[in-house]
Amino acid sequence: MGTFEHRLDAKSRLVLPAKFRDELGETVIAAFGMERCVSLYSQAEWERLIRWMDAESFMNNAKARRLQRIVLASAHDLAPDGAGRILLPSVLRDYAGIRQDLVVNGVNDHAEVWDRAAWTEYSQAGLDALQELAGGEMNGDA
């Protein structure tokens, strides 16, 4: 969990937040994430995700096949260097609209990398919905 603001360096490398380095391990799997972000997984969590996708009835479910194909086609094994940096491939940066300023969020079993402006917009919409929900309950409108 947590949100960390970072910038890509001149070589498009991201310094992984120290908090996430141990949990992600020696090999980080980066792939397309939901809502146009890059998802980062440890090897163990990636394998768990693959098992879940397999359980979604690949043979009988066209949506499951599409999800599996898109996610697996976008996946890259990345090895952090001695400074904890990973090179984000251009296909992932382009997908997420990441230019230079970004945020890295902890999301339960993985981390997500967002373009900072996209994250600001996305999180503000979530905060507005939360405020609306809280306001509705406080006013008896729920």
Residue-wise pLDDT tens digits, 54-109: 886 667 788 888 888 999 999 999 999 999 999 999 999 999 999 999 999 999 89
Q: Determine the pLDDT at residue 33.
A: 95
Q: From 73, 80, 85, 82, select the one nearest 31 (Cα to Cα).
A: 73
How many C-beta atoms surround the C-beta of residue 141 within 10 A? Answer: 9
Is 50 exceeded by the pLDDT of residue 138?
no
Q: What is the pLDDT of residue 55?
A: 81
Alpha helices in 25-115, H assignment, sequence order: 43-55, 62-74, 90-96
Q: What's the rounded mean pLDDT across residues 108-133?
A: 88
Q: Indicate whether this model's pTM tops 0.75.
A: yes
pLDDT of 57: 67
